[in-house]
Amino acid sequence: MIKPSAKKALLSLIALILTLCMLSYVLVSCTPLHPISKTSFDWFDTVTTVSAYMSQKEFDKMWETLSERLDYYHKLFDIYNEYRGMNNLCSVNKNAGKSALTVDRELVDFISYALEICEITGKKVNIAMGSLLRVWHEYREAGIGDPENASLPSEALLAEKAAKCDISAVKLDSEKCEIYISDEEVSLDVGALAKGYAVEKAAAELKALGYSGIIISAGGNICTVGSKPSGEKWAVGISDPNGGSSYPAIAEISDASLVTSGSYQRYYTVGTERYHHIIDPETYMPANYFVSVTVMADSSALADAMSTALFISDLESGKKICEELGIEAFWIFADGKTEMTDGFPAK
């Protein structure tokens, strides 16, 4: 016979086991079999879609946090519009050649990061190229609006604007949170960095709050927070630049980012030739080594910057950059051929 005291202990143990089983069942049943998704068109002139394995209540709270951060960085990095109560990049550009401007700490940190990237890439990714990039933007917009009269900027105009891309004109005082552009004709354009940096910061905040099982897609920027609840990695297809329905490769990532820079989305046509938006600072013309380059890195900010750097570098130089920085890359050539680093997580 079982003693009363032992019987009581056994019953308590069984009750505890049943409680744990019920709790486990509730937790599993609250995790959806398919991720909840939501899309926004509000940030960085692109489509942002977020998918996550969590309850609707958790998702709504997570989306609110993510939206606040992406909206803030979208406004902070905007070079076309100013916003009440904020000195952003548009404000900094307008103040070029006048005086130092006090800005948020977040903008100082970002510009500091951009200056580091400029040095690392040998000025291939240079945020002071605003004057040159603006010319191409204006000609591209005009060409899209009036295809029959689309034209290229003259060599003389490009050379004139390229002379006003000196990164040394950007003065940063981290202690006072001040930014000053010493040449009034130098302007900042952060298109090669802003999106990846903003997504990186937003994802880090979500992770710090304990969220996981999230994938953020902002245009060609993919950032994952954790893996799927099953432990599986996220499978991300690399787009076919020629518009095919199949993927040249599928990468599997977790707690990492995948960013693609390509010539197949933002472009205009002059005669029979396409001219895209990724400009080589050495030739002042669109780079033509590849049609797309995808970079995988732990940091979305780094992946974004390096996808541009690799796009305007030859293959050998690009592989060297990957080795030095510990990142992986996947290149697609105009003829459809592909190349990738040994550690790129593709199949």
| Amino acid (1-letter code) at residue 276 | H
How do residues 51-93 score in pLDDT, each as one tens digit?
999 999 999 999 999 999 999 999 999 999 999 999 999 999 9
- The pLDDT value given to residue 243: 78
Q: Is residue 236 in a domain?
A: yes
Q: Which of 53, 178, 159, 57 is nearest to 112 (CA)?
A: 178
- Give residue 106's pLDDT band: very low, low, confident or very high (50, 70, 90): very high
Q: Give the mean pLDDT of 283-303.
A: 97
CA 335-304-186 angle, to 5 degrees, is 105
Q: Is residue 245 in a domain?
A: yes
Domain count, the chain: 1
Q: Quote the CA–CA distance of 97 and 186 in Å, as a whole number.
A: 9
pTM across the whole model: 0.88
Q: Is residue 322 in a domain?
A: yes
How do residues 2-47 score in pLDDT, each as one tens digit?
454 444 444 443 333 333 333 333 333 345 568 899 999 999 999 9
Which residues lie across from 261 on neighbouring strands?
293
Which residues constitute the domain of residue 218?
32-55+211-340
Q: Is residue 155 in a domain?
A: no
Q: Is residue 224 in a domain?
A: yes
- Give residue 229's pLDDT band: very low, low, confident or very high (50, 70, 90): very high
Residues in contact with 82: Cβ distance below 8 Å, sequence separation at least 6, in sequence order = 88, 90, 91, 94
Q: Is residue 314 in a domain?
A: yes
Q: Tell me the CATH number at 335.
A: 3.10.520.10
